Structure 1
């Protein structure tokens, strides 16, 4: 399987690359500067400069782009819209590293995690930007996208346990009542989803979520 990872030098991107390479997949890192990953191949380009020709031969493109500065949060939507434009009508899957703020807290799907009283104010701008991205994707029917939300406590330095719970649109906790997952276990879940490509188990045009056990 040929997998491209956009923004591969980021902390999540690097772990997705490593997980895929360790499984024997053919992985290309797409980076703006020097490649800091273990990918076998590299495309050195800004996301906004990527073209259909750059991506058309991949089975899966993983978008690991992320930014946290208030003045750049609109780049979440801009970059996704660009990737959708250049992948439209192709057979290339687009997997997006999403956020937890849009997870629903009730069966009616009227309340999201970002709406709850205990959601930290510091994370609300980022969560709102990611929600806009997901809302946009829900209207896209010419790209095989999947939005993968992590648990609420997304742990950069957490251990790689090799296990996780695959869930859907609603906020989910493990047997300990925790909503947490390490970046490393999230990378496992992302590559698992990539490897479902072409099977009935693939979550096409869906948002899924993952929680550490």
Structure 2
């Protein structure tokens, strides 16, 4: 059993990851800006922000794995972006001897082998580009970070989100830096199957200091 701290455990991806971890017997503590009205079964919570270095250090102490499942853009006008919290998170994770797992974005994946990033193609909705770029900035910060930080960053399929929760199948493909699509050109993954892939990586590390991707 591992002790896993999940920043953003009340959100779409964070909640399904927390539930998957609990189902496999891990101890899960969520960190959220507000206490949830109904906490996911088996998950304890502390209140605080990832942008508060003292909260981060206290929450991460004694953890085996730390999960960031948070919006990459500022959550309020003029507020900090997730990438601005990365230095303090990295310091705390290294001090704890833990591993860092990040729920990433699909926009920074290559649309095809040798091609542009998904967020740079004409069909990518302009309103989503800032969040995609901010996720890409987090990934870049990890890649340029301390060599003794063990991290992984899991990019979902293009069709991933609370608007398309899908079903748990347990069947999916893993890739690298290129967007995965099916035979019909669709790129999808359910929340539950994304969580399976994420927790599999926690239990059986195979992508140390790497971004990888998941889709059907």
| TM-score normalised by structure 2 residue count | 0.86
Show the 5 A alignment for 1:51-62: 51-62=56-67
Show the 5 A alignment for 1:21-100: 21-35=22-36, 36-49=39-52, 50-66=55-71, 71=77, 74-100=80-106
Show the 5 A alignment for 1:131-146: 131-140=136-145, 141-146=147-152
Match in the other structure for 1:171: 179
Give CA deviations for 1:173-213 in whole Å, capped at 9, x if unaligned.
Answer: 1244321112221111111111114xxxx2111001110x2
Q: CA deviation at 1:144?
A: 0.8
Is the CA contact 2:56–2:88 (under 8 Å) kept in the aligned structure 1? no
Is the CA contact 1:29–1:39 (under 8 Å) kept in the aligned structure 2? no
Most deviating of 118-127 and 77-86: 77-86
Question: What is the alpha-carbon root mean square deviation over aligned residues?
Answer: 2.1
Q: Which runs of 5+ in 2 are unaligned?
A: none
Is the CA contact 1:70–1:125 (under 8 Å) kept in the aligned structure 2? no
Q: CA deviation at 1:40?
A: 3.8
SS of 1:210's equivalent in the other structure is strand
Change in Cα spacing, 1:70 to 1:103, as seen in structure 2 (3 Å) is farther
| TM-score normalised by structure 1 residue count | 0.87
Instruction: Give the one of 189, 193, 199 matched to 1:191.
Output: 199
Give the Cα–Cα distance (whole angstroms) in 1 for the partners of residues 196 and 50 of structure 2. 24
Match in the other structure for 2:190: 182
